[in-house]
C-alpha cells in the first residue's frame, strides 16, 4: 500500500512540472537553473529520482525542504500533532452527535424525529467544508466576536475548525447508525428481549448498539483517516498550523520534499488506522477471529 502511494504521489508531482523554476529568481540565467537541478538531482531521469527518494525514505530521510532549508520529515512531524488534534476533536464531536441521533432516528422510524434527523444528516453531507468554515468565521468571529477566526493554541481556536471538519462525518455516521440499528431491531433476539419486558432504551443500548457496531466502526475508522488527509482546505481557511496547511504552502512553493513527506506520513497513519479497525472487529464481536479462514 505504502509503495503504491509513494509511486503514485511521485508520478503526479513529477508530471506537475519542473520545480527548479520556482527556486530561482525570474531573471535567473540558464546556468543557475541547471545548477539548482543538479543540486537537488532534478537533472536525473524520473526512475533514478524515484529510487533516490525511495532509498532515502527507507532511512527516514525525505530530503531537505526547498523553502525552509530544513529536514522535510522533521517539518511534517512537527505539524502532525496539530492535525491529529483537529482530527481527533472532530471525530469525538461527530461520534457524540451521530450515535444518539442515529439511534433515535432508528427507534422513531417514520416519525417526526426520524424525519428531522434525516434532514439534518442530508444537510450536513451536502454542505462544502470551505463554505461552512467561512460562514462560521463570519458569524462567530466577525459578527458575534465570540471565537477567534484563525490560529491555534487554545480550545477556542480549535472549536470552529472542529465543527467544520466534523459536520460531514456526523451526517454520514448518522445515516449509517440509523440503518445499522434499524436492521438490528428486526432480529429475533430483539423480539425476545421485548417479550421479556425490556424497555426500548435498554434494548437499544444494551443489545442493539453493540451488534450494530461493526459497520459503524468500519466507517468511523475510514472517516478518521479521511479527516487526517482531508482537512487540507479547512486548515487553510482557519490558518490551522497542521500538515494540511503545510502541504498547501509546499504546493504553492513547489517544495517537493515536503509534499512527498506529508503524503507518505499521512498514508502510513491511515494504513495503521485501517489495521486497528480490523483488530477492533474481534473485540466487538467474539465470533470474528483474526487470521481465521472463511469456510
Task: Answer yes or no: do 31 and 88 share one domain.
Answer: no
> Whose grid coordinates read 419486558?
197
Task: Answer yes or no: do 253 and 167 share one domain.
Answer: yes
Task: Answer yes or no: do 90 and 226 share one domain.
Answer: yes
Residue 131 in grid coordinates: 463554505
Compute the distance between CA of residue 236 and CA of residue 251 in angstroms, rounded to an integer.
Answer: 13
Residue 176 in grid coordinates: 449509517
Q: According to the model, what pLDDT value does residue 230 have?
A: 67
Compute the distance between CA of residue 168 and CA of residue 126 in angstroms, rounded to an integer.
Answer: 8
Task: Answer yes or no: do 23 and 135 share one domain.
Answer: no
Q: Is residue 66 part of a domain?
A: no
Number of domains, the chain = 2
Task: Answer yes or no: do 88 and 133 share one domain.
Answer: yes
* Coil/strand/helix, residue 86: helix
Q: According to the model, what pLDDT value does residue 78 have?
A: 92
Q: Is residue 65 part of a domain?
A: no
Q: According to the model, what pLDDT value does residue 292 have?
A: 53
Helices (H), 16-144: 30-39, 46-58, 72-107, 112-126, 129-136
What range defines the domain where residue 201 resides?
77-284
Task: Answer yes or no: do 44 and 123 share one domain.
Answer: no
- Main-chain phi, psi angles of 292, to 5 degrees: -75, 145
Give 6's contacts (C-beta < 8 A, 6+ positions apart): 50, 53, 54, 57, 260, 264, 267
Q: Is residue 72 part of a domain?
A: no
Asked whether the beta carbons of 66 and 249 are under 8 A apart, the reply is no
Task: Answer yes or no: do 161 and 31 share one domain.
Answer: no
The predicted model scores a pTM of: 0.81
Task: Answer yes or no: do 54 and 99 share one domain.
Answer: no
* Coil/strand/helix, residue 64: strand
Task: Answer yes or no: do 38 and 134 share one domain.
Answer: no
Residue 227, domain CATH:
1.10.3720.10
Q: How far is CA 191 from CA 207, 214, 291, in A?
A: 11, 21, 33
Task: Determine the angle formed by the axes of helices 2-15 and 256-284, rounding to 10 degrees.
Answer: 150
Compute the distance between CA of residue 271 and CA of residue 222 in angstroms, rounded to an integer.
Answer: 10
> Whose grid coordinates read 543557475?
32
Residue 241 in grid coordinates: 498550523
Residue 48 in grid coordinates: 533514478
Reading the chain (295 residues) residue by residue, the pLDDT tens digits are 888 888 888 888 777 777 776 667 667 777 777 787 787 777 788 888 888 888 888 888 888 888 888 899 999 999 999 999 998 999 899 989 998 898 888 888 889 989 999 999 999 999 888 899 999 999 998 888 788 888 888 889 999 999 999 998 899 889 988 888 888 878 787 778 878 877 777 777 777 777 777 777 777 877 887 787 767 888 888 988 989 889 888 888 888 889 888 888 888 888 888 888 777 776 766 666 655 554 4
Q: According to the model, what pLDDT value does residue 194 have?
A: 78
Compute the distance between CA of residue 132 and CA of residue 163 in angstroms, rounded to an integer.
Answer: 9
Compute the distance between CA of residue 217 and CA of residue 225 in angstroms, rounded to an integer.
Answer: 12
> Whose grid coordinates read 433515535?
104
Amino acid at each position: 500500500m505504502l509503495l503504491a502511494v509513494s509511486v503514485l504521489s511521485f508520478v503526479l508531482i513529477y508530471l506537475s512540472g519542473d520545480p527548479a523554476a520556482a527556486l530561482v529568481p525570474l531573471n535567473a540565467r540558464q546556468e543557475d537553473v541547471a545548477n539548482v537541478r543538479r543540486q537537488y538531482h532534478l537533472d536525473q531521469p524520473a526512475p533514478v529520482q524515484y529510487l533516490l527518494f525511495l532509498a532515502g525514505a527507507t532511512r527516514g530521510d525525505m530530503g531537505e525542504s526547498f523553502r525552509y532549508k530544513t529536514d522535510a520529515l522533521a517539518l511534517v512531524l512537527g505539524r502532525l500533532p496539530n492535525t491529529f488534534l483537529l482530527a481527533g476533536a472532530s471525530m469525538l464531536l461527530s461520534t457524540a452527535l451521530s450515535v444518539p441521533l442515529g439511534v433515535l432516528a432508528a427507534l422513531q422510524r417514520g416519525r417526526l424525529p426520524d424525519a428531522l434527523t434525516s434532514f439534518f444528516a442530508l444537510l450536513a453531507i451536502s454542505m462544502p467544508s470551505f463554505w461552512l468554515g467561512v460562514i462560521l468565521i463570519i458569524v462567530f468571529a466577525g459578527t458575534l466576536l465570540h471565537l477567534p477566526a484563525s490560529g491555534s493554541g487554545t480550545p477556542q481556536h480549535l472549536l470552529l475548525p472542529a465543527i467544520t471538519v466534523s459536520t460531514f462525518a456526523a451526517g454520514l455516521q448518522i445515516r449509517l447508525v440509523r440503518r445499522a440499528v434499524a436492521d438490528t431491531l428486526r432480529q429475533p433476539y430483539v423480539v425476545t428481549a421485548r417479550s421479556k419486558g425490556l424497555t426500548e432504551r435498554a434494548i437499544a443500548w444494551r443489545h442493539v448498539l453493540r451488534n450494530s457496531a461493526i459497520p459503524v466502526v468500519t466507517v468511523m475508522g475510514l472517516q478518521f483517516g479521511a479527516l487526517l488527509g482531508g482537512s487540507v482546505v479547512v486548515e487553510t481557511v482557519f490558518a490551522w498550523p497542521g500538515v494540511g496547511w503545510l502541504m498547501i504552502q509546499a504546493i504553492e512553493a513547489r517544495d517537493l520534499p515536503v509534499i512527498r513527506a506529508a503524503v507518505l506520513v499521512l498514508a502510513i497513519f491511515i494504513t495503521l488506522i485501517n489495521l486497528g479497525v480490523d483488530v477492533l472487529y474481534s473485540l466487538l464481536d467474539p465470533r470474528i477471529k483474526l487470521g481465521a479462514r472463511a469456510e
